[in-house]
């Protein structure tokens, strides 16, 4: 035992013998504060949307490998791990940091999401997540670097000045191609080549529709805060039409890669058309998106896996 340990024991003994519980209370408060901070970071990272970044990695890997041996490697696991949690802390942490004033008017922040607290732990977590993102360059080939760089730049530029794409109509929509860049990087890492152009175009169009649809519940809060977006510019009805066009174009682009993928992506224009004419509130339909995207992404990933390990071999 060192001198400092012994001194600590003596202080603890004195506090216990005095019966005031001061030392124990402070330790308990510290543990409670840490747990509260960690819960806050968990909410900030949007767990419902974790697969929006990690899912494309799984899809990219399954379509880029030439055998099941390439499915789980240190590199693919590291990429999936980064884009599952740290990348979301970075993306949404930057978003909440620069939207702190705007979010005061956003009802989504009352229960399902968190308002920026501005504490050092949250800021440190965002910085560390960015550093980890830079570290992905060290484990991937050069062909993947443009996609990784694009993700980091767009993830920050979407919310942070001077770019702040989210406040410029149509730039906010186009910049959300950042969500498919992890998948493109994963594909390039395992295949050693860039993904097919039609697949990149289709995926980018899909993210444009996804982002703009998710902005519909924010139309009124954004207008109150003076924020201009594609959705505030178009209004609700025309935003539905915009999403429909984006998702129909995405399905057509993927059809050029594989007709089955195009047919699968066809669920999105059907979905937005149904929401636009149904009695279901859009802010409720918005929260169905994670389940829909997970189902579609799982089918996409399974299709890529069966390409190298046919389903009849699994069943047989």
CA distances from 252 to 162, 210, 271 (A): 35, 16, 16
Q: Indicate the pLDDT class of residue 107, thresholds 50, 70 and 90.
A: low
Q: What is the pLDDT of residue 117?
A: 58
| Cα(267)–Cα(258) distance, integer angstroms | 16
The proportion of the chain whose per-residue pLDDT surpasses 90, expressed as a percent, equals 59
Element (H, E) at 195: none
pLDDT above 60 for 2 = no
Report, as an integer, the average pLDDT of 7-20. 42
Q: Indicate the pLDDT class of residue 285, thresholds 50, 70 and 90.
A: confident
| Cα(55)–Cα(302) distance, integer angstroms | 12
Lowest mean pLDDT among 63-77, 101-115, 229-243: 101-115
Q: What is the pLDDT of residue 99?
A: 75
pLDDT above 80 for 26 = no
pLDDT above 80 for 281 = yes
Q: What is the pLDDT of residue 315?
A: 60
Q: What is the pLDDT of residue 225?
A: 80
């Amino acid at each position: 035992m060192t001198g400092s340990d012994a001194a600590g024991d003596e202080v603890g003994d004195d506090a216990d013998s005095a019966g005031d519980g001061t030392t124990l209370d402070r330790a308990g408060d510290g543990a409670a504060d840490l747990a509260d901070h960690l819960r806050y970071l968990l909410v900030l990272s949007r767990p419902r949307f974790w697969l929006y970044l990690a899912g494309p990695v799984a899809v990219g890997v399954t379509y880029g490998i030439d055998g099941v041996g390439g499915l789980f490697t240190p590199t693919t696991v590291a990429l999936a791990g980064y884009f599952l949690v740290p990348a979301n802390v970075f993306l949404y942490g930057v978003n909440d940091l620069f939207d702190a004033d705007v979010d005061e008017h956003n009802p989504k922040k009352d229960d399902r999401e968190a308002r920026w607290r501005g504490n050092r732990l949250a800021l440190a977590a965002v910085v560390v997540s960015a550093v980890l993102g830079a570290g992905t360059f060290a484990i991937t080939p050069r062909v993947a670097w443009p996609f990784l760089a694009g993700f980091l730049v767009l993830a920050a530029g979407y919310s942070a000045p001077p770019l702040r794409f989210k406040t410029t109509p149509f730039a906010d929509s186009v910049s959300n191609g950042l969500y498919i860049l992890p998948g493109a990087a994963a594909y390039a890492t395992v295949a050693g080549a860039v993904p097919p152009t039609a697949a990149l175009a289709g995926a980018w169009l899909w993210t444009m529709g996804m982002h703009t649809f998710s902005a519909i519940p924010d139309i009124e809060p954004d207008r109150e805060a003076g924020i201009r977006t594609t959705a505030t510019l178009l209004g609700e009805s025309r935003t539905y039409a915009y999403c429909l066009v984006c998702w129909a174009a995405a399905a057509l682009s993927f059809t050029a890669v594989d007709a089955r993928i195009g047919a699968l992506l066809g669920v999105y224009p059907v979905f937005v058309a149904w929401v636009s004419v149904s009695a279901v509130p859009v802010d409720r339909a918005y929260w169905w998106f994670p389940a829909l995207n997970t189902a579609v992404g799982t089918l996409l990933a399974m299709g890529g896996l069966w390409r190298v390990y046919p389903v009849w071999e699994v069943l047989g």
